[in-house]
Amino acid sequence: MHALLDALVIAILALNLYALGVSRIRAVINAVALQGVLLGGLLFLVHATLDVRGALLVIATLVIKGVVIPAFLVHAMREAEIQHEVTPFVSFMSSMLLGAVGTGLAVGFAHTLPLAEPHTNALLVPASFATVWTGFLLLITRKKAIMQVLGYLLLENGIFLFGLLLLEAMPFMVEIGVLLDLFTGVFVMGIIIHHISREFSSISTENLAELKE
């Protein structure tokens, strides 16, 4: 059981690095979608006894993170006629390197935290920090607005991972609310991407510099 959980977490970390290293947007979307599915699986594992509430949460996570949002993004790509290249500010190699360094630091940082007894050795905490960091990297180093959406999603995945620790303590409504927030956020950003692309006939956020002042 524990071994399986660790394996899943390591897969999530690998997906982080993959998302930083690939040059096709479609591949990043797939990585994020897969990460969403894995998160659903994790939820399933962490929950020792599966009640109705847990089942609902697992299903909602799988559907929203694994299917709805990726499908929406793919649709947005097609609608806005977005080119398939990621167009980074920082090269893929350097991004991956930064991501790896960040992951290492996250592990170190997690050890310094005064965590509760059952979580001290779990990989969950460092993985959550590493995923947040990867999300930030995507947000900061990629030009296209759709990549900002993906970075935001990764960021949220990291927070979700951390939330798994508190599953017993966190009310059901809060988690569902977070999922709903995420969905709305992506939806709004999809609309914004559409507008940016219509206004500037490209979705590079560099164009937004024209709007300053």
List contacts with another protein (CB under 8 A).
89, 136, 139-143, 145, 148, 205-206, 208-212
| DSSP annotation of 120 | T
Cβ proximity to another protein, 34 vs 145, nearer residue: 145
Q: How far is the CB of 159 from another protein (least distance, A)?
A: 13
Helix (H) or strand (E) holding 18: helix 2-21
- Smaller CB distance to another protein: residue 30 or 207? 207
Residue 176 Cβ vs another protein, minimum distance, rounded to whole Å: 26
Distance CA 42, CA 58 (A): 9
Alpha helices in 24-171 (DSSP H): 25-46, 52-61, 69-79, 92-112, 124-141, 145-165
**Complex with another protein: residue 89 or 172, whichever CB lies closer:** 89
Write down the least CB distance from residue 91 to another protein, Å: 15
Cβ 105 to another protein shortest distance, Å: 11
Q: Of the two residues 47 and 143, which places its CB atom closer to another protein in the complex?
A: 143
CA distance 45 to 167: 12
Choice between 44 and 200, CB closer to another protein:
200
| Smallest distance, another protein to C-beta of residue 199, A | 14
Question: How far apart are the C-alpha atoms of 58 and 38, rounded to whole Å?
Answer: 10
Here the tokens at position 150 are 């993906």
Residue 122, C-beta contacts closer than 8 angstroms, at least 6 positions apart: 5, 165
Stated as kind and residue range, the H or E segment containing 62 is: none
